[in-house]
Amino acid sequence: MSQQGVTQTVSDVISSLEAVGYLPDRALATSVHLAICLGRPLLLEGDPGVGKTELAKALALMTGRHLIRLQCYDGLEQRDALYEWNHAAQLIHLRAAQALRTPEEIEREVYQPHYLIKRPLLQALHTPVPGAVLLIDEVDRADEPFEAFLLEYLGEYQVTIPELGTIKAETPPLTILTSNRTRDLNDAVKRRCLYHWVQYPDRDRELAIVRQQVPNISEKLSEQITEFIQRLRHPPFQDAFSRAPGIAESVEWAKALVALNTLSLDPEVIEGTAGVLFKQRDDVAALTPLLTDLLATG
Ligand SMILES: Nc1ncnc2c1ncn2[C@@H]1O[C@H](COP(=O)(O)OP(=O)(O)O)[C@@H](O)[C@H]1O
Ligand SMILES: [Mg+2]
């Protein structure tokens, strides 16, 4: 499927993403549509588990582009993200050539693309048509110098390698950056991107996601799960927990409850599976006294 063929309108983006198993809301689909039309990177911020990383995977499926992923972490450096010289191969070449050529000749020879180890950002520039989906995941985990280094890349889809000059994308990658917002990103990075805050889904969309990912779940149980999780994320319950469960947790919980042959939610089964919803001891403890209210009907 060509990129142009599937993304003429926002509704096309919605149906194309749904066709590959990703259920977006209209606002997110609009941002995706604009990122494709304008050729701009899209920065997605939002709580963990709301579907940021998954969107990039879905976009790769939708457009037939190859997914190239750069997972960010504290201490990530250019040589892990962009390229490094293959010193071992350069050394072998140098030994072999030493008797025959001048040092200047050898130096020119070893700084050729052949001796370059391409990391994700450079791979994404060299991906032939239809190009890559480049996922720069959890950019808030990398440090600020790394963000500064991304500026040239995000602005022009090009990089400069001192020994080789400037390398520009043949087909610009469809670029998605994600952040869990553990810190504020550099303004200059934000300016080069379209921005979208990814919300938790509403009840209907979450129900559809759970049913799609856990097809053998009963109607009743899937409704109860979604209702329960939606309540956890809203007042007055939300303040009792350090972090609300994301869509990932809803889906995992649905799978767990189906595996336990659960017919309907009750305090006992919820307590037994609370570790799927919450990963903090205090949050698990806070759940128990709230169960009666959380399960109340009406
Ligand atoms: N809109 C969606 N449609 C379908 N599944 C989704 C959607 N959003 C999230 N998911 C599910 O939730 C899981 C977690 O999403 P993920 O992209 O890892 O979250 P994030 O990157 O925001 O932390 C995914 O593996 C997927 O199963
Ligand atoms: Mg993620």
Tokens 């890559």: give the residue.
Answer: 132
- The pLDDT assigned to 4 comes to 46
Average pLDDT, integer, range 209-215: 97
pLDDT of residue 153: 94
> By the 8 A CB rule, do 120 and 69 touch?
yes
pLDDT tens digits along 224-263: 999 999 999 999 999 999 999 999 999 999 999 999 999 9
Q: Whose CA is nearest to atom 1 of ligand 1?
A: 23
What is the predicted pLDDT for the residue at 227? 97
Q: What is the rounded average pLDDT of the residues 176-191?
A: 95
Q: Answer for the pair 41, 154: CB distance below 8 angstroms, yes or no.
A: yes
Average pLDDT score, the chain: 94
**pLDDT (tens digit, 9 = 90+) per residue, 1-30?**
444 444 589 999 999 999 999 999 999 999
Please check the confidence at residue 276 and state whether its pLDDT lies above 80.
Answer: yes
Does domain 3-82+119-197 match CATH 3.30.930.10?
A: no
Prior bond to 236 cis, omega within 30?
yes
Strand partners, 85: 116
Q: Which helix (H) or strand (E) holds 135?
A: strand 132-137
What pLDDT digit, counting tens, does each position of 37-82 carry?
A: 999 999 999 999 999 999 999 999 999 999 999 999 999 999 999 9
Q: Is the CB of 213 under 6 A from ligand 1?
A: yes
Closest of 129, 155, 10 to residue 64, by C-alpha:
129
> How close is the Cα of 297 to the center of ligand 2, in Å?
34
Ligand 2 centroid to Cα of residue 248, in Å, is 10
Name the DSSP class of 127.
P
Q: How far is the CA of 115 from the centre of ligand 2 (A)?
A: 33
Residue 298 CA to residue 83 CA, distance in Å, equals: 58
Ligand 1 proximity of 22 Cβ (cutoff 6 Å) = yes
Domain residue ranges of the chain, discontinuous segments joined by +: 3-82+119-197, 85-116, 203-295
Q: Are the C-beta atoms of 163 and 179 separated by less than 8 Å?
A: no
Answer yes or no: pTM beyond 0.85: yes
Q: How far apart are CA 27 and CA 12, in angstroms?
A: 13
- Section 159-176 average pLDDT: 94
pLDDT for 5 equals 47
The two structure tokens encoding residue 106: 């050898």
Number of other CB atoms surrounding residue 163 within 10 Å: 13
**How many Å separate Cα 142 from the centre of its chain?**
15
Q: Do residues 138 and 178 make contact, with C-beta atoms less than 8 angstroms apart?
A: yes
